[in-house]
Structure 1
């Protein structure tokens, strides 16, 4: 796979405001070129209010949460013919929201005004109480409904095989379990089975690569799933954030954080 010089996050499965014990349940994979420098999840030294991994090229992030409960995550929009020269790093979108005190709708409205400054992206932003979705292709801001959703590299809930499978497995698990186990969510997104050729989307990358990119957990030479993240926010605003990092498909380490969301002053 030819490197375009921008990081991606390729799958976010989430269950929002539709569980008796949890406001938000997220199981996500970040896929990236193995050589791109990345810091594992931590509270940032330059902004200790933010918890998330960090892309050490653009100094942004693909998924993060603050101690006051501001949350955002993004994926790229797959377009192999897009000219990304002189574009801003998409990781700034999440970082800037987490660092700001703007409401999610105000922030996304301001983002619309500079939508062409970034390569194609999807972003979800808000809090455990209310989430909004925006992408700079359709250019519409919408409130995310309660229930189970999936976001990969087209639009929210586009029925790519990995999105459909992830949504179905997540919904099946969380609707049966009053207490959600992080290990069970990691098991779901560790699925490396390629989709049948007949079910593949056509995003312009060619059939062979399309198939290699079709699993929830990707392993190809030079590119694949670099980390998996489980984020749980319960009805008492207790946050559990667990990240597993991988080195060319092999488990590397687990980082676990927990805290209570506090009201921002």
Structure 2
């Protein structure tokens, strides 16, 4: 998952609204959004290469999402980062408890951002940056750096979410996630992957022959505990491959 924008508003009728794009090589196999037969209550897409997920819902209002850190110089971990959201969604721990238990294991994973919620609290962890922290009310963005790093794509998507909050129908939110506009060269970040790749990765929605936005997902969690998750899937050059919408009560 490479771009997540979300509105966290405790006490609001819709405390959590999430719009996210998963960017990945098209050749990496993945299963569509669905309940997991082997984990009761877990609903997510699934990485069929390593077995984890990038975003999903669990029992009792649980939510988890992950982005990777883009840094070719970082040491590669021995464990898949996608196991972290799946582990939390299958557990009964609070976000704080899960993150505390995770601390001795962090050396096993390449860099990541982890977002965890249980319907009452929302927590963020980037082990390179800070200790786990509980998030206050606000509109946030995560890409492949740290929370609210001002990359052009993140700023555009976060602004789009903010403008859509009062009329947040699915089509308007998917339009925010479908933005193909690349950043101007003078505003590109330098993450060590070269100017041409930085340019390709600078749009909210990425498309090419081999790598791009594989899924766009909307999540809504209401104060009464009801939830919805809506996923649209794409192939090379952004070709639509299908969609799934689930309502959870």
Instruction: Note if 1:217 corresponds to 2:205.
Output: yes
1:11 is aligned to 3
1:20 Cα offset (Å): 4.4
Bigger helix share: 2
Alignment TM-score, normalising by the size of structure 1: 0.90
1:195 is aligned to 183
Give the 5 Å matches for 1:231-242. Answer: 231-242=219-230
Deviating more after overlay: 14-23 vs 62-71: 14-23
2:40 is aligned to 48
1:166 is aligned to 157
Give the 5 Å matches for 1:97-136. Answer: 97-136=88-127
* Structure 1 residue corresponding to 2:61, chosen from 65, 69, 75: 69
Bigger strand share: 1
Give the 5 Å matches for 1:129-144. Answer: 129-144=120-135
**RMSD across aligned C-alpha pairs, in angstroms?**
1.3
* Structure 2 residue corresponding to 1:154, chosen from 138, 145, 150: 145
The CA distance in 1 between the partners of 2:7 and 2:34, in whole Å, is 24
1:220 Cα offset (Å): 2.1
Instruction: Note if 1:29 corresponds to 2:21.
Output: yes
1:263 is aligned to none
The runs of 5 or more residues in structure 2 that have no matched partner are none
The CA distance in 2 between the partners of 1:132 and 1:122, in whole Å, is 11
The CA distance in 1 between the partners of 2:244 and 2:17, in whole Å, is 17
The CA distance in 1 between the partners of 2:114 and 2:11, in whole Å, is 23
The CA distance in 1 between the partners of 2:38 and 2:92, in whole Å, is 17
Residues 28-61 of structure 1: CA distance to partner in whole angstroms, max 9, x if unpaired?
A: 0000000001000000011131000000111110
SS at match of 1:52: strand
Residues 133-177 of structure 1: CA distance to partner in whole angstroms, max 9, x if unpaired?
A: 001212411111211100000001111111111111111110x33
SS at match of 1:226: strand
1:82 is aligned to 74
SS at match of 1:136: coil
SS at match of 1:201: coil
Alignment TM-score, normalising by the size of structure 2: 0.96
The CA distance in 2 between the partners of 1:111 and 1:20, in whole Å, is 30
Residues 193-242 of structure 1: CA distance to partner in whole angstroms, max 9, x if unpaired?
A: 10111111111111111010001100122100000000011232221110
Contact kept, 8 Å, 1:116 with 1:136, in 2: the verdict is no
Kindly tell me the number of residue pairs found equivalent between the two proteins.
248
Contact kept, 8 Å, 2:11 with 2:223, in 1: the verdict is no
